[in-house]
Amino acid sequence: MPAALSVQSVKKTYSVKQGEVHALRGVSLTIESGEIFGLLGPNGAGKTTLINCILGIVKATSGTVEIFGHNNMSDYVAARKPVGFVYQDIALDNFFPVHRLLHFQRGLYGRPPNPAYVKQLLQELDLWDHRTKQPDQLSGGMRRRLALAQALVHEPELVILDEPTAGIDIELRDKTWDIIRRINQKGTTVLLTTHYIEEAENLCNRIGIIHQGLFKKIAPTQQLIHEMGQRRMTLHTPQAIPDDTLSQLSFPIEQHPGEQGGYRYDILIDRGVETVQTCMDWIKSTGIEIDEVELKPATLEEVFRNMAWGNGQ
Amino acid sequence: MRVFWTLLVKEVMRSFAIPIQTLLTPIISTFLYVVIFGVAMGRRLSFPYEVDYLTFMVSGLIIMNVFQQAFQGITSSIIISKYRMNIVDLMTYPLAQHWIVLAHGVGGMVRGWFVGISLWLVAIFFMKGMAVSPAVFLLSSAVGGLLFSLMGTWVALRCKSFDQVALFSNFVILPVLFLSGVFFPAVLFPEPWRTLSLYNPIVYVVDIARYGLIGVTPGNPILVCLAVLSGILLFWGLGTFQMRRGIKLR
Ligand SMILES: Nc1ncnc2c1ncn2[C@@H]1O[C@H](COP(=O)(O)OP(=O)(O)O)[C@@H](O)[C@H]1O
Ligand SMILES: [Mg+2]
């Protein structure tokens, strides 16, 4: 059986007035049937571009995409048929009420009508009471759910979701997660993009980290969490720490002016109690005056900036 | 097959989502034309056919509306999708590009047809001799409507805004229609328009559709079919080509 999705050396260069944007600089990826794969990366990493290349909305500059063994350019009818998707920027036709839109969507993917399934889906997404409304009469959250319903109504084998939970409340996010897990249990392969580590951790069995148009790492989730478990220690001091003292520390450290005067130092610490201890020892040894210390998980942006495998490309 | 059919039904239903406007505007504008041109000019014209000028003109207006509505219906449907950005759906349907284009073409044609038939029924109610050969009218207006609708599909896929479509509509569609003997028999045009009109395939489609309505003799029907069929193939091909190259967005 062919892989659900196979992306080979895809490059995408946008021509803009100021020159060229290399949104994808040669990415390869294989997703097996039954996976939930998370495409994780900061804004501008190239996630949406990759999704659009897979869907064929954007033509890759080079490289190939196959969906269940069908090339998405030369054999696009067969490649598109098993796919359901939600764009990052949802665009819905406003000519029809919700339920009709979903009935059409089934037909557009060659599926016979199935009112019972449409009803079940609408109920599950709390849209049943709104089924006769036009999309423009729905709230933002409802439109998102409608887009998800549209992606699922033809019972696709591969579901592609671009930032399915960006900017929505926790309740809807949990619901979306539940649905993703449920369809996956029934055998649907899922590819989603996110810039929340938490989402990728909770949902995906494998994660690809993309940054500046390249995969930095593709690995099973557990392995990645281990490697990414960095923390950020923030120190607030009334006086600046001398440069030669700073250079004694082996962790990356950044100096900023403090919000209430003084200075703020951000230190990125590798995972583990040991290393936090090392840091505390260093602070003690310098004898500098400290107003406040904070310890937090590192943000994804910091992790990217400091990833050992993120440099030199 | 199911995919094509669904897309077609969807397109047709889209064009009827605003039925009052779809139907009322052409009826009112036809009425205005009749009052202004028909009644005012009709009496002063010496006319080579056995029908009076008013009958001739009304039949022309019905045909013109089929073609115009076919063009306009599909262009506005596509341009609205561009404004709303759901036009990208066209690039994701599991259907060959030429069938996607044809479904739009037929969708627009049905709208033009619907408007034309409604006008026709109104005309039959008010005037005599308006239904000499309904089958000929229905068939030829469908074929002509398809031509205009496919033209509209291609134009709308290329254009980024309503303004650009209006440009094409005003400087290509309207002149072609006016020069196709809608208001006035092309054979009576002054030169050079008369010779020019011989090369306008729409003249023949209008003639043949008009034959179905009021029985005035058309030109060579085989030539008509050839001209119109090649027109349909041309714009079907251009539309498909445009889809392959990529739909122009805003
Ligand atoms: N249509 C476009 N034209 C030019 N540049 C683009 C276009 N779309 C995206 N880009 C650029 O490509 C890069 C990747 O963008 P995108 O794929 O949207 O990232 P992400 O989805 O990960 O936030 C960005 O630098 C973005 O500015
Ligand atoms: Mg994005």
DSSP B42-86: HTT---SSSS-HHHHHHHHHHHHHHHHHHHHHHHHHHHHHHHHTG
Burial class (CB in 10 A: 0-12, 13-18, 19+), B20: exposed
Distance A57 CA to ligand 2 centre (A): 14
Distance (Å) from the alpha carbon of A152 to chain B's nearest alpha carbon: 15
DSSP string, B209-232: HHHHHH-PPPS-HHHHHHHHHHHH
Cβ contact (<8 Å) for A57 and B81? no
- Can you read off the two tokens belonging to residue B65? 């509306």
pLDDT of residue B193: 77
Q: Could you write out the DSSP letters of every residue in chain B?
A: -HHHHHHHHHHHHHHTSSHHHHHHHHHHHHHHHIIIIIIHHHTT---SSSS-HHHHHHHHHHHHHHHHHHHHHHHHHHHHHHHHTGGGGGGTSSS-HHHHHHHHHHHHHHHHHHHHHHHHHHHHHH-SS--S-HHHHHHHHHHHHHHHHHHHHHHHHH-SSHHHHHHHIIIIIHHHHHTTTSSS-GGGSPTTHHHHHHT-HHHHHHHHHHHHHH-PPPS-HHHHHHHHHHHHHHHHHHHHHHHHH-----
Q: What is the mean pLDDT of residues B32-51?
A: 70
Task: Indicate whether B63 belongs to any domain.
Answer: yes
Give helix B53-84 / helix B19-33 axis angle, nearest 10°: 150
d(CA B47, CA B169): 30
pTM, to two decimals: 0.83
Distance A23 CA to ligand 1 centre (A): 6
pLDDT over 80 at A258, yes or no: yes
CB contacts < 8 A (A, B): 62
> Residue A36 is inside which H or E element, if any?
strand A36-40
Q: Identify any residues that bridge with A268 across adjacent strands, giving them in sequence order.
A: A232
**Residue B128: HSE in the Cβ half-sphere, 13 Å Cα cutoff:** 2
pLDDT over 90, % of chain B? 27
What pLDDT is recorded for position A313? 34
pLDDT at site A312: 36
How many of the other CB atoms lie within 10 Å of CB of B8? 18
Written as six digits, the tokens of B28 are 């009112």
Please give the structure tokens belonging to residue A312. 């030199």
CB–CB contact B91 A108 (8 Å): no
Say whether pLDDT at B242 is over 60.
yes
User: Which of B3, B86, B246 is closest, CB to CB, to A107?
Assistant: B3
Structure tokens at A293: 């210390």
Q: Which two tokens stand for residue A160?
A: 């592609």
* B116, part of any domain: yes
pLDDT the model gives residue A195? 82
Rounded average pLDDT over A43-51: 94
What values do phi and psi take at A158, rounded to 5?
-130, 120
What residues make up the domain containing B168? 2-16+49-245
For residue B200, is it within any domain?
Answer: yes
- Number of separate domains in chain B: 1
Distance from CA of B113 to the nearest CA of A (A): 21
CA distance A21 to A48: 14
What is the pLDDT averaged over residues A210-228? 82
Cβ-proximal residues to B98 (8 Å cutoff; 6+ apart), any chain: B236, B240
Tokens for A218, please give them: 């593709």
To probe the interface with B, which of A55, A73, A95 has the most B CB atoms within 10 Å? A95
- pLDDT surpassing 80 at residue A233: yes
Q: Residue A83: beta bridge partners? A: A158
Pocket of ligand 1 (CB under 6 A): A 14, 16, 21, 23, 41, 43-49
Residue A135: its pLDDT value, please? 93
Q: Whose CA is closest to A266, among A251, A277, A280, A282?
A: A251
B85 touches chain A (CB under 8 A): yes
**Is residue B80 a part of any domain in this protein?**
yes
* Run of H or E including A75: none
Residues in chain B closer than 8 A to A87 (CB atoms): 88
Do A297 and A269 form a contact (C-beta atoms < 8 A)?
A: no
For residue A49, which atom of ligand 1 is closest to its CA? 17
The tokens of B105 are what?
A: 């073409």
Distance CA A63, CA A50 (A): 11
Mean pLDDT of A77-83: 96
Question: Taking CB atoms and an 8 Å cutoff, what residues of chain A touch B92?
Answer: 55-57, 80, 83, 85
| SS3 state of residue A148 | helix
The ipTM of this complex is 0.83
Answer whether residue B95 shows pLDDT above 60.
Answer: yes
Mean pLDDT of the residues in chain B: 84
pLDDT at B104 > cutoff 90 = yes
What is the predicted pLDDT for the residue at A185?
Answer: 95
Query: Is B180 domain-assigned?
Result: yes
B117 part of contact set with chain A, CB < 8 Å: no
B131 or A205: which leads in pLDDT? A205
Residue for token pair 């009469």 = A137
For residues A39 and A115, give the distance between their C-alpha atoms in angstroms, rounded to a whole number: 34
* B29 belongs to a structural domain: no
Judged against a pLDDT cut of 50, whether residue A309 lies above it is answered with no
SS3 A131: coil
Residue A256 burial (C-beta neighbours within 10 Å; 0-12, 13-18, 19+): exposed
Top-ranked range on mean pLDDT: pick from A17-31, A288-302, B22-36, B113-127: A17-31
pLDDT of residue A311: 41
Across A149-153, B51-55, B93-97, B236-240, least confident range: B51-55
Q: Is the pLDDT of residue B50 over 80?
A: no
Amino acid residing at B132: V
Pair B153, B81: CB distance under 8 Å: no
Mean pLDDT value across residues B18-28: 73
pLDDT score of A277 more than 50:
yes
Q: Tell me, what amino acid is at B136? A: V
The predicted pLDDT at position A302 comes to: 60
The distance of Cα A313 from the centroid of its chain, to the nearest Å, equals 22
A91 backbone dihedrals φ, ψ, rounded to 5°: -130, 115
Give the mean pLDDT of B153-178: 89
* Within-domain flag for B162: yes
- Cα of A92 from ligand 1 centre, angstroms: 22
pLDDT confidence of residue B19: 64
Mean of all residue pLDDT scores within chain A: 88
pLDDT exceeds cutoff 70 at B225: yes
* Alpha-helical segments (H) within A109-239: 115-124, 140-152, 170-185, 197-203, 221-228
| Range B68-77 average pLDDT | 91
Residue with tokens 């559709």: B209
Whether B23 maps to a domain, the answer reads no
Residues A99-134 pLDDT 10s: 999 999 999 999 999 999 999 999 999 999 999 999
Ligand nearest to C-alpha A163: 2
